[in-house]
Structure 1
Amino acid sequence: MASNGSDRRPRIGVTTYLMPARHGVWDHEAALIPRDYLDVVVRAGGTPLLLPPLPEVDPGVLDVLDGLVLSGGGDVDPARYGAQPHPRTGGTSAVRDAAEETLLHAALAADVPVLGVCRGMQVLNVALGGTLAQHLPEVVGHEGHRPAPATFGRTRVRLDADSLLGGLLGDEVEVECYHHQAVGELAPDLVPVGHAEDGTVEAVELRGPRFAVGVQWHPEQTADDLRLFRSLVDAASADIRIEGNA
């Protein structure tokens, strides 16, 4: 982890995705991420650094990062957890899946704090040996987690009181969500600490003292609640202070 002393803002890597984009006279593929992610990292006290999904990712990039956000986006390729694709599974990218798993394992090895958002929580689960339910409405019997295209659902999540997230957000929180997949079989090293009323796992934490959490909702959409991103930045700041005083 990089350190120039305790007087700088923590550098938070944010994963991006490749999509067709138009700007000015140009129409081509670009590495994108909604601006909400960048704004919330800045407001929480960090400096966002964008991480494109490259075919070959250098794990050494973690040497300049103090925290990592695995962002939302398309579905994880079911081949990564040994399943055939469901007819509703889409938007997969083998390059992005591999790139983010590489970054995640490098971050965990280096004790860099990690926050997985929506797809990012699913990447965390799959990378550590879990599986996904590929079309959640078939499991819970409703479309409430993704009510319509480009429309966030509202979900009430009950959090375990003795978990990191429970201590941070309280016993219950209402969140913005947009997902049609969810945790199937939970990875052995993860603990489910948040559930929707229909039983869907909405939050997980890595066993042990490291800051590595995943939420199935989109905290970047709630501009007036910075607690989760501030917790990530605080965890990154603590490591900077430790290294700066070493």
Structure 2
Amino acid sequence: MVKPADKLEETVSMTARRPLIVIPARFSEHATALRYEAEVTARALVRAVYAAGGEPVVIHPSAPGAEVDIDAVRERLWFADGVLLPGGGDVAARWSGQQPHPSQYGVDEEQDAFDLAVARVALADRIPLLAICRGNQIVNVALGGDLIQDMADTTGTHFNRVHELRVAEDSPLGEIVGSATTISCYHHQCIATLGSGLMPAAYSADGVIEAVTLRDHDGWYLGIQWHPEDSAATDPVQAALFARFVGAAATRVRSGVDEVRLAP
């Protein structure tokens, strides 16, 4: 059952300011009106965060030579009330001890190294964390899991697919989205072996893990394989995901600590 929107808005409105939601930028070879390479994020994504009451803050992913000091990343996240790891290109196979697939695309190991560090800091410091598509895969790898490198070899890719989501009966995700909902996907990789502590929260009809939660985690974490920002402006179920995430960040703002769980 979706929590009523007015209650979610009330949670955020009780804070003195909008919770600051950190989103690592994505590297792009070009963007309209820019002459050189760019760092970008999806407009629909920042709109969804803003509509939920958050203040999206896009940060520069810096990990020269695909190496980064995790304490330096922690210092950069000092102001974060929440972290959102967005979609993007493939995660380099080497991070999970696998071999690259010929179909891989958009791999940037500097991006990988930075995102992996952000994931580890957010989880360790109990900063509310929403991981979407690639972000979900990043967290799985950060926790020791691995990926199906190309779903065409197994179930078939989920490029540009809209399909039903089956939520696990015992998952706290159901309290947000109900037992089933329609989702928008764009991915050809997905979770294979689950990382330490991760639990499946939802599946597609072909058996792909579409969402995960984290066992015995003192903070708020949700990893989802689909793109809720695609339809958040018109679908209250997808909007509720952002509202619950921003609500967790708002609780952190009010209390000064992040002792909040996905489950009520």
When normalised by structure 2's length, the TM-score is: 0.84
User: How far did 1:157 drift?
Assistant: 1.1
Per the alignment, residue 251 of structure 2 pairs with: 238
Per the alignment, residue 185 of structure 1 pairs with: 193
Per the alignment, residue 51 of structure 2 pairs with: 43
Q: Which runs of 4+ in 1 moved over 3 A?
A: none
Per the alignment, residue 29 of structure 1 pairs with: 37
User: How far did 1:110 drift?
Assistant: 1.5
Indicate yes or no: 2:76 matched with 1:61: yes
Look up the equivalent residue of 2:27 and give its one-letter code.
Answer: L
Q: Which of 176, 192, 201 in structure 2 is aligned with 1:168?
A: 176
Indicate yes or no: 2:116 matched with 1:101: yes
Look up the equivalent residue of 2:250 and give its one-letter code.
Answer: S
Q: Give distance in 2, aligned partners of 1:46 and 1:169.
A: 20
Aligned residues: 232
Does the 8 Å contact 1:20/1:27 carry over to 2? Answer: no
Q: Which of 51, 64, 74 in structure 1 is aligned with 2:89?
A: 74
Q: Deviations over 1:185-211 (max 9, x none)?
A: 111210011100000000001112421
% identical equivalent positions: 35
Does the 8 Å contact 1:107/1:113 carry over to 2? Answer: yes
Does the 8 Å contact 1:161/1:170 carry over to 2? Answer: no
Say which structure is richer in strand: 1
Please state whether the residue corresponding to 2:251 is helix, strand or coil.
helix
User: How far did 1:16 drift?
Assistant: 1.5
Please state whether the residue corresponding to 2:101 is helix, strand or coil.
coil
Q: Deviations over 1:109-160 (max 9, x none)?
A: 22100011000000010010000001112111x34x11xxxxx211211112
User: How far did 1:23 drift?
Assistant: 4.1
Q: CA RMSD in A?
A: 1.5
Q: Give distance in 2, aligned partners of 1:205 and 1:85.
A: 27
How does 1:96-245 map onto structure 2 within 5 Å?
96-140=111-155, 142-143=156-157, 145-146=158-159, 152-208=160-216, 209-222=218-231, 223-224=233-234, 225=236, 226-243=239-256
Q: Give distance in 2, aligned partners of 1:58 and 1:132.
A: 25
Q: Give distance in 2, aligned partners of 1:58 and 1:134.
A: 28
Indicate yes or no: 2:23 matched with 1:10: no
Does the 8 Å contact 2:73/2:121 carry over to 1? Answer: no
Q: Deviations over 1:219-242 (max 9, x none)?
A: 011122310010100001111111
Structure 1 pair 22/220, CA: closer, same or farther in 2 (3 Å)?
A: closer
Q: Deviations over 1:162-221 (max 9, x none)?
A: 322111100111100000000011112100111000000000011124211110000011
Look up the equivalent residue of 2:25 and give its one-letter code.
Answer: T
Comparing 174-183 and 223-232, the one that deviates more: 223-232
User: How far did 1:52 drift?
Assistant: 2.1
Q: Give distance in 2, aligned partners of 1:217 and 1:104.
A: 18
Look up the equivalent residue of 1:129 and give its one-letter code.
Answer: G
Look up the equivalent residue of 2:91 and give its one-letter code.
Answer: V
Q: Which residues of structure 2 form unaligned runs of 5+?
A: 1-13, 258-264
User: How far did 1:22 drift?
Assistant: 4.0
Q: Give distance in 2, aligned partners of 1:243 and 1:11.
A: 13
Please state whether the residue corresponding to 1:88 is helix, strand or coil.
coil
Look up the equivalent residue of 1:119 and give its one-letter code.
Answer: R
Look up the equivalent residue of 1:13 and give its one-letter code.
Answer: V
